[in-house]
Structure 1
């Protein structure tokens, strides 16, 4: 690798604070998604997911239409394959499996398993060339695990929706694998595809996700035997469009910008912002203060992100020093 290439990689270290802000913004918008089932309570989780992603697809198609022909020349078959799998793993299939995990095993089991998502992404990212070592990231990962355990332990007070713990655990593990694959795959696609903006990539994912949701719509309609009033359907449409705009359009756009600014070992930690804000919105919705374990979870999540940022800043400083030494020696 040349000195110029090294300099390019090190320069990205200066964007870490901005990347963290984008990650926090994405988490703040994504956290609102957890209110959608409450706002559209008569409808099943599958119907809520299909409604959200149909709206996401329609809005994406309208927004990208003026640039559609020019974008088609920039995309290859490999890119369309990536869009298909990212949409399926990170949106449709993930949400369905997570909903099944909650229904079968309860909130505690699902939150405990999926709560380890930042750890799985960070471990994979630590294997990349030039990445921060796993040992240096261990304190951050331990704080993350402690926060997830606190949330899950607190959730044990809530009754499980079903007693099928084994099948619920399996669904939660599948959901964890799916979103890990999405986070890693999406980050690497954004690094590779310089010809596309993060906004256009998000809209393309929206179009593909909308097509997948359209195929699932008959199943969603038949998933509930209830008939809904005009008022309920209007509320459902409003919630679906709001979530599509706030979380899928703007939230995903911020996440994609973050993915181009920080290394993969930090991407996993940024997912903690979604948990952080989801808890805040939940407390506001329930009109209460955090309980003891929930407060501890807040502290653990904050420490996890702070230690992760600190490690990456120190790693970047060491790389800058090493490169400066090479340049002074004329290497």
Structure 2
């Protein structure tokens, strides 16, 4: 496959992954009466079960191709990229809203870029500074906009207080750092193990994540009064497991499969840029849910983020042919 076709194929897979991952930002809105840990455990328990059944017919072949180092990597990838990331994301949304949370996590291309700039074949960081600064400006705009909505004396425009706002920002930032570590580690392991398909790697990650979710199910569901959330009816639990199943199938299994293909086709410093599509789709879904148009500040932030990513892609294409 030519360099140009590889770039386009990687971009297409990145867009599809973003469209499916963006759905997860709606889940805290749909399941606001459940704790973030319960949401994560529900989603990833089902993700693990589905992954195991899909991998079962060729389990011996897939598992024999990896050793202790790969299992250790899968453990940390599952913890960072799934459990920790999603608990922090789900905790941030009620405090600062879906749009602000998705835009903060949309800073991921910059954090990945800073890490990947040390790779020997990476585009020189100096050439990427203009689009990086443009993306930074987009994030600053949305964070500052949300800050001015916070009322130190109480609640306003959906925000609880400045303390709650800061807590939400901290959770979103923690999710960003967790996903940065996952994105870098995952891309490098996929490059080191070309004999393992992206789909199998995703399913193996799902199996490990499911095992972790089962352990966390004890404090999430079994220990009385551990969540601080009200009791739920049968209809509430039906809604909970239905939404978790949908997210497990579309966002975790199918979305991760697209992402692993993108990570294998694109250099690390560019694959990280693809996360902007998760941000854009998350914003689109959030605006539909809130039944409103984006504000002027949010529109500018989106324009800056997209322009920054396209600019980075152009820099990578020039670098590949230079």
- Name the TM-score, length of structure 1 as normaliser: 0.86
Alpha-carbon separation, structure 2, partners of 1:278 and 1:112: 9
Deviation, 1:14, is: 3.9
Does structure 2 conserve the Cα–Cα contact (< 8 Å) formed by 1:57 and 1:209? yes
Alpha-carbon separation, structure 2, partners of 1:190 and 1:161: 42
- Match for 1:59 among 50, 61, 65? 50
Alpha-carbon separation, structure 2, partners of 1:185 and 1:194: 15
Change in CA separation of 1:288 and 1:172 when aligned onto 2, cut-off 3 Å: closer
Gapped runs of 5+ residues in structure 2?
A: 150-156
Alpha-carbon separation, structure 1, partners of 2:90 and 2:31: 15
Alpha-carbon separation, structure 2, partners of 1:26 and 1:149: 25
Identify the residue that residue 176 of structure 1 maps to in structure 2: 176
Alpha-carbon separation, structure 2, partners of 1:225 and 1:110: 22
Deviation, 1:101, is: 5.1
Identify the residue that residue 87 of structure 2 maps to in structure 1: 96
Matched, 1:273 2:277: yes
Deviation, 1:97, is: 3.2
SS at match of 1:271: helix
Deviation, 1:153, is: 2.8
Deviations 1:200-236 (A, max 9, x none): 0000000000111111112112314422111111111
Change in CA separation of 1:306 and 1:225 when aligned onto 2, cut-off 3 Å: closer
Deviation, 1:155, is: 2.6
Identify the residue that residue 123 of structure 1 maps to in structure 2: 114
Matched, 1:285 2:285: no
Change in CA separation of 1:50 and 1:189 when aligned onto 2, cut-off 3 Å: same
Deviation, 1:173, is: 4.3
Structure (1 or 2) with the larger CA radius of gyration = 1
- Match for 2:254 among 250, 253, 266? 250
Change in CA separation of 1:97 and 1:119 when aligned onto 2, cut-off 3 Å: same
Matched, 1:229 2:233: yes
Change in CA separation of 1:31 and 1:109 when aligned onto 2, cut-off 3 Å: closer
Identify the residue that residue 26 of structure 2 maps to in structure 1: 35
Deviations 1:115-151 (A, max 9, x none): 4322110011111002101011112211211221222
Does structure 2 conserve the Cα–Cα contact (< 8 Å) formed by 1:132 and 1:315? yes
Identify the residue that residue 75 of structure 2 maps to in structure 1: 84
TM alignment of 1:1-331, pairs within 5 A: 12=3, 14-100=5-91, 106=96, 114-156=105-147, 157=149, 158-161=157-160, 163=163, 171-221=171-221, 222-318=226-322
Deviations 1:266-313 (A, max 9, x none): 122111111111111111112221110111112112201210110011
Does structure 2 conserve the Cα–Cα contact (< 8 Å) formed by 1:111 and 1:148? no
Gapped runs of 5+ residues in structure 1?
A: 1-7, 319-331
